[in-house]
């Protein structure tokens, strides 16, 4: 099940350069390109003339040019030029492709996927620390062979850390999760818990000074349908954020754009180490999450059993059901060329 009417990350912004880039969102191929002012635009990656991929073309006069017969499409998807036409021949009314509203933020390209008017759309999942010089960010992308709901749920799972991450920051000797409250947000959930300091080895032991708290506070925020922000407070002003923004590619493929943002070791010299540690944690998750069956979390049966520590995931499943009941679900068997967003008028 894919959901419409949300913002989705589709690419690292640095990957959209002089040449168009093809991405897939919820089974739909989309071409991204930059205009001469550096602004990113997103059009359906299928020319309405003979179906060629627009992403194989180039940018000219701020239009995306199809590589097959040279039709030029503007940022709203209107065809502005057909080279084979004489001056007397008009551009057909149907010569337009769907376009998507695109925003570049936090080093990512985000698309609004759906049909809600601008005033009714949820805000972009926030990460103000990205632009704050007191914080330092590294980021990257990784592809999971599973459904985005499994990847998202994993990112908000307090109880897996002592086991899945026993090779990095998890403490297998301390698996208890105290009961916690789940706060309802307009488009998501938030919850907080404490881990013992012993859970944080390696680099984190540097913060184990006498005056530091004996616990680490972790706050997880879900932004529907698949963005999770995990903020960890180590005490004494040492904080870091893991921001996982998931791109549902198809029913069995998810790309996670990950950002690790920290208030300590903010020089570039520590970036490589932060990347290495982030990727190790992601690989630990990936090894487990890709084994989960079914690939999409089950919403309508009792084939999985919940306990108190799963309160966040239970809340997530409720929000998924609510979005579906609102009519925002899109069948995953949807052909790639079906138009979700009405063509530009």
List of residues contacting ligand FES (CB under 6 A): 47, 49-50, 52, 66, 68-69, 71
| CA distances, 64 to each of 28, 61, 81 (Å) | 18, 8, 11
**Which of 204-207's residues contact partners 24+ apart within 8 Å by CB, and which partners?**
204/169, 204/234, 207/234, 207/235, 207/236, 207/238, 207/264
Type and span of the H or E element at 68: none
Report the nearest approach of ligand FES to the CB of residue 100 (Å).
19
Enumerate residues 6+ apart whose C-beta is below 8 A from 124: 7, 103, 105, 110
Nearer to ligand FES, 91 or 275 (CB): 91
Enumerate residues 6+ apart whose C-beta is below 8 A from 303: none
Report the nearest approach of ligand FES to the CB of residue 75 (Å).
17
Nearer to ligand FES, 183 or 339 (CB): 339
User: Across-strand partners of 143?
Assistant: 255
Nearer to ligand FES, 57 or 162 (CB): 57
| 184 backbone dihedrals φ, ψ, rounded to 5° | -85, 130
Report the nearest approach of ligand FES to the CB of residue 336 (Å).
16
Nearer to ligand FES, 43 or 330 (CB): 43
Report the nearest approach of ligand FES to the CB of residue 296 (Å).
35
Q: What is the DSSP letter of 85?
A: S
Report the nearest approach of ligand FES to the CB of residue 29 (Å).
14
Q: Quick one: tokens of 207? A: 């913060």
Enumerate residues 6+ apart whose C-beta is below 8 A from 277: 168, 202, 203, 260
**Torsion 167-106-256-123 (CA) sign:** positive
Report the nearest approach of ligand FES to the CB of residue 300 (Å).
42
Nearer to ligand FES, 81 or 160 (CB): 81
Report the nearest approach of ligand FES to the CB of residue 132 (Å).
44
Q: How far apart are CA 195 and CA 165, in angstroms?
A: 13
Nearer to ligand FES, 81 or 105 (CB): 81
* Length of the chain (residues): 345
Nearer to ligand FES, 21 or 151 (CB): 21
Report the nearest approach of ligand FES to the CB of residue 31 (Å).
12
Residue 275 contacts residue 138 (beta carbons within 8 Å): yes
Residue 342 contacts residue 115 (beta carbons within 8 Å): yes
Nearer to ligand FES, 71 or 243 (CB): 71
Report the nearest approach of ligand FES to the CB of residue 66 (Å).
3
- Of 228, 261, 225, the closest CA to residue 245 belongs to 228
Query: How do beta strands 40-44 and 188-196 pair?
Result: unpaired
Nearer to ligand FES, 47 or 109 (CB): 47
């Amino acid at each position: 099940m894919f959901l419409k009417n949300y913002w989705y990350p589709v690419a690292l912004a640095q990957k959209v350069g002089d040449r168009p880039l093809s991405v897939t969102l919820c089974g739909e191929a989309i071409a991204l390109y930059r205009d001469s002012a550096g602004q990113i635009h997103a059009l359906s990656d299928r020319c309405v003339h003979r179906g060629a991929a627009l992403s194989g073309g180039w940018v000219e006069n701020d239009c995306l040019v199809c590589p097959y017969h040279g039709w030029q499409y503007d940022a709203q998807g209107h065809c502005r030029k057909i080279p084979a036409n004489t001056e007397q021949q008009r551009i057909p009314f149907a010569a337009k492709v769907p376009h998507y509203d695109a925003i570049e933020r936090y080093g990512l390209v985000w698309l609004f996927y759906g049909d809600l008017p601008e005033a009714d759309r949820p805000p972009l999942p926030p990460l103000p620390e990205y632009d704050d010089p007191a914080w330092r960010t590294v980021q990257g992308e990784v592809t999971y062979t599973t459904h985005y709901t499994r990847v998202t749920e994993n990112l908000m799972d307090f109880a897996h850390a002592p086991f899945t991450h026993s090779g990095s920051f998890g403490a297998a000797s301390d698996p208890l999760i105290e009961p916690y409250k789940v706060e309802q947000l307009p488009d998501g959930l938030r919850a907080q818990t404490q881990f013992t300091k012993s859970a944080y080895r390696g680099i984190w032991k540097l913060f184990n000074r006498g005056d530091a708290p004996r616990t680490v506070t972790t706050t997880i925020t879900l932004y529907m349908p698949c963005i999770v922000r995990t903020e960890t407070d180590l005490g004494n002003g040492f904080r870091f954020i893991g921001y996982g923004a998931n791109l549902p590619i198809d029913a069995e493929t998810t790309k996670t754009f990950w950002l690790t943002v920290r208030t300590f070791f903010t020089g570039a010299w520590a970036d490589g180490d932060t990347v290495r540690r982030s990727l190790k944690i992601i690989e630990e998750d990936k090894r487990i999450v890709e084994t989960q069956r079914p690939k999409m979390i089950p919403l309508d049966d009792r084939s999985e059993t919940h306990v108190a520590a799963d309160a966040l995931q239970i809340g997530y499943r409720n929000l998924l059901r609510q979005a579906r009941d609102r009519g925002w679900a899109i069948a995953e068997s949807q052909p790639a060329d079906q138009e979700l967003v009405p063509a530009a008028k």
